[in-house]
Amino acid sequence: MATALVWDERLMWHDAGNQFGPRSPWIEPGPPPESVETKRRIKSLCDASGLTARLTVLAPRPATRAELERVHTALYVDRIETTSRAGGGNIASRAHTHIGGGGFEIACLAAGATITAVEAVMAGRVRNAYALLRPPGHHAEADAGQGFCVFNNGAVAAAHAIAALGLSRVAIVDLDAHHGNGAQSIFWRDPRVLTISVHQDRAFPLSVGDTTEQGEGPGHGFALNIPLPAGSSEAAYRATMDRVILPALDLFQPELIIVACGLDAGFMDPTARMLLSSDSFRLLTRALMGSADRLCDGRIVFTHEGGYHIQTVPFHALAVFETLSGIRTEVEDPFLAAARECAAPMLPHQDAAITRAEAALHAAPPTPRT
């Protein structure tokens, strides 16, 4: 079966505004890193390489209000809709997250894109799927947007898989260089969803993402964090996958894996300080696909999150698409040699961070509840 690409040109029309960073009268307005450029370049490279023609391209449908309110409060959904209809503005309470006029409909379509991907995979119409979308979602909490995120696309899809498709266990694996705080907070007390986040320690948000955060009540043990030191390269990520992420998935036995696919751990990203290459993303994708093959008949869905270097990100994404589809194009990553020059063996302080995450996993293993 083919790999699905969930795509709609309207998703590229999200207006992220012209303010980025802390609120200050001394910051000159300018386009934020979350822009249409990187996402459209991903699609363009897939097109130019001939890969898109060999994928199953699916058109998303918008998420309904009921689907959004499985993970977001009604007041928050109202705030997005009201702001959008007033012409746009800031929808975050603790930072600045902009939507423009019509932004509510685009954000609903982004959440619906991940639902569309999950439904296609669960129905067996495709082997796996990638929802290439904006705005991203993994920082959005139940009642607040944050970062560049409006609705939590991955969380909406996970809740849909449980409520509408009858699943009992869904895992969300967040590869973004910034902490997956949104899904963690949404499912903080829910043992049906295992949230795993490997990220640069204290990159964003600054106050969350530690190994001690493991969920609460019936959800204790079902939140897992691997905060890696800045400067971690493929060796540290490989060890994290082998020693923490894959064992956690084996314990949890998910029926579906959703990957919050941030590409900002790439070695040239302006928002993080990690050192991954396109081959690194190929390796991580292959590992997660192997876990899905073992545990849930290969059911795995990728939803696009961060990744902001306009030249390197398309090659990182193409590596993911090639791995998902099993199709190797003729494209050669012109940045791969430079990324390999930046790569380094795992250092002792990185190993210590992974060991702490291992200890947290074994202290509170995510064993399915009956």
Which residue numbers are catalytic?
139
Q: Check the CA dihedral 167-177-271-268 and report its sign.
A: negative
- Which class for 168: exposed (0-12), middle (13-18), buried (19 or more C-beta within 10 A)? middle
DSSP-assigned letters across all residues of 21-57: SS--TTSPP---S--HHHHHHHHHHHHHHT-GGGSEE
**Rounded to the nearest 5°, which phi and psi values hold at 369?**
-95, 140
- Helix ranges (DSSP H) in 176-233: 181-186
List the Cα angle 304/36/134 in 5-degree steps: 35
Residue 181's nearest CA partner among 156, 219, 207, 160 is 207
Question: Tokens standing for 92?
Answer: 């975050």
Residue 81's nearest CA partner among 103, 63, 59 is 103
Cβ atoms of 227 and 353 closer than 8 Å: yes
Residue 132 tokens, joined? 């290439």
Q: How far is CA 181 from the centre of its chain?
A: 11
DSSP 232-267: --HHHHHHHIIIIIHHHHHHH--SEEEEEE--TTBT
Residue 69 contacts residue 77 (beta carbons within 8 Å)? yes
Nearest-angstrom CA–CA distance, 107 and 111 = 6
